[in-house]
Amino acid sequence: MSRLSIKKRVTTFYAAVMLLFMIIVMSVFLVTLDLQITHVSQNALEKSVKNAFDYIAMPGDWLEISNDFDFYVNDVSLLVYGQEGTKMMGHAPQGFPEEIALQSDTHREYSSENENWQVYDLYTEYPNGTGVWVRGIYSLSNSKQTLRNVLVLMLLTLPLLVAITLAVGYVVTKRAFAPVRKIQQTAEYIMRKKDLSSRIGLEGNANDELYSLASTYDKLLEKIEDAFENEKQFTSDVSHELRTPVSVIISQAEYGLTQDDPVTMRESLDSILRQSEHMSRLITQLLELSRTGNALRSLNYEKFNLAELCEMVTDELQEQADSKGIQLISKLDRSIEIEADQTQLMRALINLVSNSISYGRDNGFVMVDLHRDGKNNDRINISVSDDGIGIAPEHLDKIFNRFYQADQARSKAKSSNTGLGLTMVKQIVEAHGGSISVQSTTGVGSTFTIVLPLTAEPEAKFSSI
């Protein structure tokens, strides 16, 4: 059975259930019909026997039977017997066992080889003490024949009904399972052509289980395609980012080797060192980004005071700020307790504050502001502002992209800048179910704002299990 396709299994099951149902219905019908026939014939028999006494009288010592007395009425044969059981009038139907004893007011059934009868006897005693029996015999052959005909008809139509059930069942299940074929074809096509852009694209009722399965698969394919494209883009971005320092290193090394002047050679070595440091930083950041990606898949949620975390961040970066004479200002709501991954949030904040210091004005300020969200009580805002160089409007929507640097000259000048920091911050914030935005004016300063839910969203918690 399990070797059959689901379509055939469903059809067979459906047909078997229908067959069973039909057999039960037919059996109930036949039994009811049989009972009904017996009931009707017993009524007719009893009525005929009782009516017969209307035509029998006992005016003296003798019995008088009216000329109108009919010995065969409504398919019932009537026989009259004396008190001792001696037959006086009437004929039993052919083949009826006459020796059957009289028994007043009891319905009985007798059968011979090829006949069935119903028998009903009634005894009445007249005032002179003499009694009379009337026996009614009803032949059941007609009724039994009707019953047999119905049974034969049913047995003949049963296979036809089963065939129709099987055919209809097969067509219905075939139609119902058509989407499965479509899903399979799409999967085969994707495997054969290695084309992840293909979709099942089933149209239909959203309540249909197969339709929703197909649309879930489509969404899954979309995610896989995105991830695949991302990987491709990532590899190409990384190669591109590494190619520049590597070519500078090669050309500087080649140039240095052709020079005898130690000063020029030193300059080349300096340049090689800077590029190597940049590459090393780039590789470290890439590793960190990949580790963050892995860590974000299993966030370690815990409850902690967010103001304390912000203070740890500013303490950590105090020295960097001092080196530029930048004042670190904190405006913190100390009552905020958040459920989040402390290590990851700290990395995100360190990145933001560190950027603000890097791109901040000498002797300027960097402010960390933590407060509850004005609109949603279950969210908090952390903003990091500076009065630094700002970001031109055309770069604002791109700075969260991998390797993107708004001010290439300035960013690249520092070997520590890689254009990966904000990408990581965004990943961390979004993994917590939050969002990040930026407002900036060139030459005036920038404000990065993170909005986070106070408690872990069930989905995020679930994915961290």
For the CB of residue 419, give the shortest distance to ligand ADP in the complex, in Å: 4
DSSP-derived letter for residue 104 is B
- Interatomic CA distance for residues 174 and 10, integer angstroms: 10
Backbone angles phi, psi at 338, to 5 degrees: -125, 150
For the CB of residue 425, give the shortest distance to ligand ADP in the complex, in Å: 7
Q: Which is nearer to ligand ADP, 10 or 429 (CB)?
A: 429
Q: Binding to ligand ADP by residue 446, rule CB under 6 A?
A: yes
Q: Which is nearer to ligand ADP, 77 or 314 (CB)?
A: 314
Helices 262-297/421-431 angle, 10° precision? 10
Helix (H), strand (E), coil (C) string for 332-395: ECCCCEEEECHHHHHHHHHHHHHHHHHCCCCCCEEEEEEEECCCCCCEEEEEEEECCCCCCHHH
Q: Binding to ligand ADP by residue 391, rule CB under 6 A?
A: yes
Helix (H, G, I), strand (E, B) or coil at 76: strand
Exposure letters 259-295 (e unless 16+ CB within 10 A, then b): eeeeeebeebeebbebbeebbebbeebbebbeebeeb
Site for ligand ADP (CB under 6 A): which residue of 52, 418, 428, 460?
418
Tokens found for residue 237: 């971005």
For the CB of residue 465, give the shortest distance to ligand ADP in the complex, in Å: 31
For the CB of residue 331, give the shortest distance to ligand ADP in the complex, in Å: 18
Q: Binding to ligand ADP by residue 411, rule CB under 6 A?
A: yes
Site for ligand ADP (CB under 6 A): which residue of 134, 389, 450, 454?
389
Site for ligand ADP (CB under 6 A): which residue of 143, 268, 356, 383?
356
Tokens found for residue 218: 């489509």
Stretch that binds ligand ADP, among 27-35, 67-75, 220-228, 381-389 (CB under 6 A): 381-389
Q: Binding to ligand ADP by residue 328, rule CB under 6 A?
A: no
Contact letters for ligand ADP, residues 72-111 (x by CB under 6 A): ----------------------------------------
Contacts with ligand ADP by CB under 6 A lie at 355-356, 359, 386, 388-391, 399, 404-407, 411, 417-423, 446
